[in-house]
Amino acid sequence: MIEVKGLYKKFSGVPVLEGITTTFEKGKTNMIIGQSGSGKTVFLKCLLGLHAPEKGIISFDGRIHTELSIKQHRQLRQEMGMVFQGGALFDSLTIEENIMFPLKMFTNNSISEMLDRVNVVLDRVNLENVNRKFPAELSGGMQKRVAIARAIVMNPKYLFCDEPNSGLDPRTATVIDNLIQEITKEYQIITIINSHDMNSVMEIGEKIIFLKDGVKAWEGTNEEIFKTENEAIVDFVYSSNLFKKVREAYLSKIK
C-alpha cells in the first residue's frame, strides 16, 4: 500500500498541494484527475520522488520515502515502473533494446536472461515479431504497448502512468486501458494513473482522487462518481452532455 499523509508542496512560495491525504491499494487502478493546474502532475512527481514535499509523509509498504538511505532509494526505484505521456521510447534503439534498458541499468542478468524477459513482457502486451523494429516503425498504440512492456519488465510493485492514452484514438485508448487494468490485477501491482480522459475514469477508475486547486476535493470509485452530489466533481466530470446523459440514465435506473 502507498500511504500519503498531509502532503504539502510549494513553488516560489505558492502552494500547489495542500494537505493531501489518501491511500493506494495493490491490485487496483487508482486515478488522479483534475483540471490543468490542479496539482495532479506535481502530486504524481512527489509520489515518484521527483519533487520533495515541504511537509507530509509518503510511505511505500511501510517505508517512509524521506527516511530511506541512498541504497534503499535505489531499491525502491527498481520497484517502480513508469509509462510516460509520450511513451518516451528511445528512437535510436530497437524495441528489444528499449525494453532491455532497465534490465541493463539495474540487474546483472546475462544477455540471454534479459532477452527471455523481454520476450515474456512483449508476449504479455500482445506484440509479436517487433524485437528488431524501431519505434518509428510502429503505430501509436503499439508504441504505448512497448512502453507498458518496458515499465513492467522489472516486475514492479508500483506502476505510474502519466496520461497513457494521450494521442490515441478512442478504440486504441480502450485497448490500453484494459491492458493496464489486466496487468494491475494479474501482477497485483499498485497502479496510479494521471489522466484527463473521462472515458478511462469511467471504465477503469476503481479509485479516483479529484484534485482542485491543490486540494483533494473528492475521492471515490467510478460507480460512486455517478451518485455524488459534490459540486466540484459534478461540474468537472459532467461538463460534457454525453456524461450528463449517462449520469441521468444511471440515477433514474437506481431510483
The predicted structure's pLDDT at residue 191: 97
For 156-200, the pLDDT digits (tens) are 999 999 999 888 898 999 999 999 999 999 999 999 999 988 888
Q: Would you give the distance in Å from CA 88 to the centre of its chain?
A: 15
The predicted structure's pLDDT at residue 3: 97
Higher pLDDT, 21 or 84: 21
Considering the entire predicted model, what is its pTM? 0.90
Please, which residues bridge with residue 2 across strands? 24, 60
Per 3-state DSSP, the chain is made up of helix, strand and coil in percentages (nearest 5) of 45, 25, 30
Grade residue 247 by pLDDT with cuts at 50, 70 and 90: low
Yes or no: say if 192 and 165 are a contact pair by the CB < 8 Å rule.
Answer: no
Higher pLDDT, 254 or 77: 77
The answer as to CATH 3.40.50.300 being correct for domain 1-79+158-172+187-255 is: yes
The predicted structure's pLDDT at residue 227: 82
Grade residue 234 by pLDDT with cuts at 50, 70 and 90: confident
Handedness of CA 43, 49, 51, 53 (dihedral sign): positive
Return the amino acid letter for 165: N
Tell whether the model's pLDDT for residue 253 goes beyond 70: no
Query: What residue spans define the domains of the chain?
Result: 1-79+158-172+187-255, 87-155
The predicted structure's pLDDT at residue 225: 86
Given phi > 0 = left and psi -120 to 50 = alpha, else beta, which region is 7? Answer: beta
| Distance in angstroms between the alpha carbons of the first and the last residue of the chain | 36
